[in-house]
Amino acid sequence: MQLSGKTIVITGANSGIGLETGRELARGGATVVMACRDLARAKAARADIAASVPGAKLELVSLDLASLASVRACADTIKNQWPRIDVLINNAGLFPFKKQLTDDGFEMQFGVNHLAHFLLTQSLMPALLAAGRPRVVNVASMMHHLGKLDFDSFRGEKPYGPLKAYAQSKLCNVLFARELARRHAGDGLLSWSLHPGPVGTNIMGRGLVNRTLYRLIGAYMSAKRGARTSVYLASADNIEGTSGAYYDEFLKVKPGSKLSQDTALAARLWQASESLVAGA
């Protein structure tokens, strides 16, 4: 797909996979809107990309995914400045070891990794549909295979297990991508989820101990390599027929877990998500 003249929004574009995804899409000529919580780091990331991609078109917007008010404000800012969005990449994510809650009282991994991106996507829908054939790319994980949905845990009601919460949030990503594709099959919107590979990012935090532990458990792949599937889904031609699919790090469609293929579960998650963001 020709990227010149396209507008692409990426959450968490100031580091890791998001940074490298933004770099490659900017290299292709797209205007990359970097939606980030820490604007100081985002400015440094923008300078980093600009130094390696002369003429890169890079914009910054503030987005704190732990606050649904911030998500709504970010969406309004984006729609006002860019009324047509060609690609939205829901990339940002976290994996806290200890239980935390978002500003709105949701378990942090569910709230940030899924619910905030659900709201952002819905809030940007007018601008996405204005593009004609928009794409929504959701960075999930193969860890969704371990995930189950406990609808009574979304506000942190249950005892916290970091891996269990992460797997649940990543299952949400895959289910959301499938249901989004199903609901928009008639209006041109395309949606996918993906596993980027075992990438050594800051998802567990920026502390040395956390980063070292993450690498020791197998997160060895470079962020540049991990961005490959996101870039592919944002820009490749002739993949429209796979909308709703889950891709692996080798650009191959995979079935995903049995639960991730449950259309009734996907619809229930969508309805629950709508209710949760409406009440927050």
Query: How many Å apart are CA 8 and CA 182, to the nearest integer?
Result: 22
Nearest CA-CA partner of 273 in 116, 69, 93: 116
| DSSP output for 58-104 | EEEEE--TT-HHHHHHHHHHHHHH-S--SEEEE------SS--B-TT
CB neighbours (10 Å) of residue 56? 19
Query: How many Å apart are CA 173 and CA 181, to the nearest integer?
Result: 12
**Taking all residues of the chain, what is their mean pLDDT, rounded to a whole number?**
93
What residue ranges of the chain have pLDDT lower than 70?
200-220
Active site amino acids = 166
Q: Are strands 253-254 and 7-11 parallel, antiparallel or unpaired?
A: unpaired
pLDDT score at 123: 98
CB neighbours (10 Å) of residue 239? 18
pLDDT score at 201: 52
pLDDT score at 221: 78
Summarize pLDDT for 138-173 with one digit per residue, the tens: 999 999 999 999 999 999 999 999 999 999 999 999
Tell me the H-state helices in the chain.
16-27, 39-52, 68-81, 108-109, 116-123, 125-129, 162-183, 208-216, 223-226, 228-235, 263-278
Three-class secondary structure of residue 262 per DSSP = coil
Residue located via tokens 């969704």: 144
pLDDT score at 216: 41
CB neighbours (10 Å) of residue 54? 7
> 0.85 exceeded by the pTM?
yes
**Domains observed in the chain:** 7-278 (3.40.50.720)
Query: How many Å apart are CA 12 and CA 34, to the nearest integer?
Result: 7
